[in-house]
Chain A
Amino acid sequence: MTQQSIDRREYNITAYTENQVGLLNRIAIIFSRRKINIESLNTSPSEVEGIHRFNIVVVETEEVVRKIARQIEKQVEVLKVYFNPNEDVIWQEMALYKVPTDVIAERALVERLLREHGARAVVIRKDYTVFETTGHREETDKLLTVLQPYGLIEFVRSARIAIIKDSQGFHHKLREFERTEPSHEVSENDYLNSRDKVFTM
């Protein structure tokens, strides 16, 4: 193992951005250009209307992540970027598990497993039941492993969302930003559904 691969660890990149068509690509190619795999990517609103928030997880060295964070922040429509190792963030991922209902009904063990892992039933149908858990990767993984022998039909896990433990600093600036310069509406293509009405060559 090279020294570099030893120093690689999970980093959580948090980017505050404008809400613009095409920005996801502009950010994604900063990683793909360097052949860095994105382990997880979530885009969502932030606490301030009109300002978007990206949560991106990569496994890399601090040096590489610092440079990437600067490259992201350099983009015209990006306001601010932070990067943190896992210990500096509170993070969660959500997972959904689809299990045959008869297995749960008939086997007390399965019900206990679900309860032990804090799973919650989202949908219960005659043929299947969908459970949900939220937690760290190991927690959602563990339930996946234990359910596998019981006819697990489908599994999906969400991207990671993370909150920086020490992030008071930017919150006020964000509010100030939005107060002094309100966000623009997202500009989208209004013509895609009106093909028949438009003149064509």
Chain B
Amino acid sequence: MYSNPQPQPAPTSPETAVATTEPATRTLSGAEATLHALLAEDVDTVFGYPGGAIIPIYDALYDFKEQLNHVLVRHEQGGIHAAQGYARSSGKVGVVFATSGPGATNLVTGLADALIDSTPLVCITGQVFAHLLGTDAFQETDILNITTPITKWNHQVTDASEIPEALAKAFYIARSGRPGPVLIDITKNAQMQKADFAPYQPCTHIRSYRPRPVVRPEYVAQAAALINQAKRPLVLWGQGVLLGKAEQEFKQFIEKSGIPAAWTILGAGALPTGHPLNVGMLGMHGNYGPNVLTNECDVLIAIGMRFDDRVTGRLDKYAKQAQVIHLDIDPTEIDKNVKATVPVWGDCKETLPLLTELVEARSYPKWRQRFLDHDAEEIAAVIQDELFPTSDELTMGEVIQQLNELTQGEAIIVTDVGQHQMVACRYAKLNHTRSNITSGGLGTMGFALPAAIGAKYGAPERTVVAVIGDGGIQMTIQELGTIMQTGVNVKILLLNNQFLGMVRQWQELFHDRRYSFVDIASPDYVTVASGYSIAGRRVDNRPELQTALREMLEHPDSFLLEVMVTKENNIFPMVPQGCGVGEIRLK
């Protein structure tokens, strides 16, 4: 991925060979060594917030302004969500700086989110002086033990000399295998200390860590044999396809095998939403066809997905009739929730081409027609009214539908958590991979605004639209300050139903409409935005909607568009909690 700065090849004479293969060391502070490591790892952007225990790194950063773009966020949670957005849109490792104590603990939600959604991050936290550890020093917190369950790896550095190796391991671990967040805690003395550093060596191997499983061809062959005798095969794909950068390999597999394919929300976009074999979204609020037909397929091929409970519903009623092929890089996912008939352990970038070669070119016209029939039912019962309503009030679905018409599926859609998220994921048109950025596993409200900022830094050439509800935006609204100061161009599409809508929906359906604390008041968002010098507009009627969306997209800078939508809409279809996917309800 990056060149290994090995010493030059040894010259012929043995005497000079000794002299030149001895790498030239240079004296740096730990803080400077930290920044040199970031540059060597091809980092261009860091999201962070300074504080006492990380001042030496910020002091060194003063001299690196040309090489490293530092984005000053308004809260460390905003910083880490921005880094997640950056990582998800760019495919690179997101980097965060935070100070000790509260700075570090503010990263906790983002770390948990990044771990469950396999997002590669390297978080660097300052820590009190090594000799003060355990003394309850000012802004001391045991961030290593706090973050152990929510990091792929974490490590504390108490001496400057350890910094390059720790960071090299951090980047290697964060991006290899199943990616995830890594936290490196550097004590202040280690940042200040001077030491002699050899040229930076990226890490390419750790003896106890096997990120790239050796693919066993016999399992690939078994999988192909199962697929070749299938009558009604169904592919379920997840984010593993994106993380493995295997979109092409996946498309070739689908197109040759002719198997209909459905996606988890983190997998969205790996195959364009308009592709004829893309049969839609899985899960609790997914499409009718793929949910119902999961329980009718004869071979289920899961690719880079983990059978989350929001995808499977009740496990004892999930795909019991099917033989399951599970392709995953992480062995703990095999048999974790759904027993695999044939496990194919490996990176799908490697396993998919092997499988494609062995499967027969087929098409399943009758079986695919079943999906189309279910689609027709879903359109009649749900989609028509959601996207083209005849009532007075606006629906979330029609906003996304109008947005699709303007973006033509070219934008990156970043969503928060709740009803608007399900609507956006269900209806957004996505032509490209890495175009749907959302908090899937953790369901972190407040994710979208900062993640959209980071997504724009990770893909500056693309339009980034953050779709957010009136609950979520109030959780991290301070990041409007980051937009103001950096001038980053993010389109904020606020869908305001004046409720914490998803909880309200559950209270309506399952708790006798006892609306307990879901009625949330909002500030005047357009005024708030203007306080941050961000242009904005509010619409509440159909005739204005498209011009307002157009104004938002065509505005040269960031823009906040608040759309007042109908208050008590429910998201359907829905697999109620405790039900099987076959029991999905259309109303």
Is the pairing of A and B real?
yes
Task: Mark A residues whose CB is within 8 Å of B.
Answer: 17-18, 21-22, 25-26, 29, 33, 67, 70-71, 73-74, 76-79, 177, 180-181, 187, 189-192, 194-195, 198-201
The reply on B506 being an interface residue by CB < 8 A is no
Residue on B with the closest CB to A66? B335
A17 to B207, CA, bound (A): 10
A192 to B332, CA, bound (A): 39
A165 to B207, CA, bound (A): 26
A79 to B206, CA, bound (A): 10
Of the residues A70, A177, A200, contact of B207 by C-beta under 8 Å? A177
Residue on A with the closest CB to B330? A74
* Interface CB pairs A-B, < 8 A, 11: A18-B208, A22-B154, A25-B148, A74-B332, A77-B209, A78-B208, A79-B207, A187-B159, A189-B158, A191-B130, A192-B130
Task: Mark B residues whose CB is within 8 Å of A.
Answer: 52, 129-134, 144-145, 148-149, 152-156, 158-159, 162, 173, 187-189, 206-209, 330-332, 335-336
Chain B residues within 8 Å of A26, by CB: 148
A33: min CB distance to chain B, Å: 6
Chain A residues within 8 Å of B336, by CB: 67
* A198–B152 touching, CB < 8 Å: no
A53 to B182, CA, bound (A): 25
* A76–B158 touching, CB < 8 Å: no
B58: min CB distance to chain A, Å: 15
Of the residues B133, B156, B159, B332, contact of A67 by C-beta under 8 Å? B332
* A17–B131 touching, CB < 8 Å: no
Main secondary structure on B side of the interface with A: mixed
Residue on A with the closest CB to B207? A181
Of the residues A21, A29, A74, A198, contact of B331 by C-beta under 8 Å? A74
* A191–B208 touching, CB < 8 Å: no
Known: A22-B148, A79-B208. A189 touches B133 (CB 8 A): yes
A18 to B331, CA, bound (A): 20
Known: A67-B336, A190-B159. A76 touches B153 (CB 8 A): yes
A79 to B210, CA, bound (A): 9
* B158–A191 touching, CB < 8 Å: yes
* B332–A70 touching, CB < 8 Å: yes
A79 to B207, CA, bound (A): 8
* A192–B131 touching, CB < 8 Å: yes
Known: A33-B149, A71-B332, A195-B131; 16 extra A-B contacts, CB below 8 A, are A18-B208, A22-B156, A29-B148, A29-B149, A67-B332, A76-B152, A77-B208, A180-B207, A181-B207, A187-B162, A189-B130, A189-B158, A191-B130, A192-B133, A198-B131, A201-B188
Residue on A with the closest CB to B55? A201
A74: min CB distance to chain B, Å: 5
Of the residues A18, A67, A187, A201, contact of B52 by C-beta under 8 Å? A201
Chain A residues within 8 Å of B145, by CB: 22, 25
* B332–A76 touching, CB < 8 Å: no
Chain B residues within 8 Å of A200, by CB: 129, 132
CB-CB nearest 4 A-B residue pairs: A191-B130, A191-B131, A181-B207, A70-B332
Chain A residues within 8 Å of B189, by CB: 191, 198-199
Known: A18-B208, A67-B336, A70-B332. A198 touches B162 (CB 8 A): no
Residue on B with the closest CB to A200? B129
A77 to B159, CA, bound (A): 21
